[in-house]
Amino acid sequence: MTIETGNVVLEEHYARQSADAKPGAYVLPAVSDTGIGIPVAILERVRTVFHDQGDRQRNRTRLSMVYGFIRQSNGHIKIYSEVGHGTTGSFICREAETTARGGIRLGDRTGPGGNETVLVVEDDGWYVISSCSVRQLGYRTRLAGNGRKPLAALGDGRIDLPLTDVILPGALTGKQVADAASGSGPGLKVLFMSGYTENAIVHHGRL
């Protein structure tokens, strides 16, 4: 289990994708494990359980208390899980100050843009939509969710940047996508993304 804290700044773009999030500076405690993970169908129920004040089962009551505490702090909760790999719960709490000192900016959309081609390797539909917002900055995007599709796309030599999830369904991993990219062209860099925190990715050996 990994327990960590940090400062983040939620940008307008990120807040629009999360109904209970508002732009601003936040403190982010996060807890990650390497357990069995939570299937997508059950994960949706976990989210609704936060609102279930009438159920007095011990675990549900505790979840409701956590949710209430976070909402009182003008924050929100983000749960990310991969079956067979584990779960990360991020509890994003609003800071009193207007800026987070040294905070990572989430959803920042500033930048010059460009016309290069970005290969998005991601199987989760929500994250695909989020990732493909790079189109609005002028970049071309190609999608490759799983299987051998990412390797085939890299093989045609028309990719400027692979943007890949760390954990993918099936035998292929984000690390293998990066290895294939390094062999497909000199100087081709890879950008990793994940719902897990950086420390959880490193400490649990996922990269």
pLDDT band at 60 (very low <50, low <70, confident <90, very high): low
Whether residue 24 has pLDDT greater than 70: yes
Q: Are 144 and 121 in contact (CB under 8 A)?
A: yes
pTM of whole model > 0.75?
Answer: no
Whether residue 7 has pLDDT greater than 70: yes
Whether residue 59 has pLDDT greater than 70: no
Whether residue 164 has pLDDT greater than 70: yes
Three-state secondary-structure class, residue 10: strand
At 132 the pLDDT is 60
- The class level of CATH for 117-203 reads alpha beta
113-124 residue pLDDT tens: 677 888 888 876
Whether residue 174 has pLDDT greater than 80: yes
Mean pLDDT to the nearest integer, 31-59: 70
Whether residue 6 has pLDDT greater than 80: yes
**What is the domain partition of the chain in residue ranges?**
2-106, 117-203
Residues 120, 96: Cα–Cα separation, whole Å: 37
CATH-assigned architecture of domain 2-106: 2-Layer Sandwich (3.30)
114-150 residue pLDDT tens: 778 888 888 765 556 556 666 767 788 888 876 678 8
Q: What is the 3-state secondary structure (H, E, C) of 172-190?
A: CCHHHHHHHHHHHCCCCCC
pLDDT band at 178 (very low <50, low <70, confident <90, very high): confident
Strand partners, 104: 8
Strands (E), 104-207: 104-106, 117-121, 140-143, 161-165, 191-193
At 186 the pLDDT is 74
Whether residue 104 has pLDDT greater than 70: no
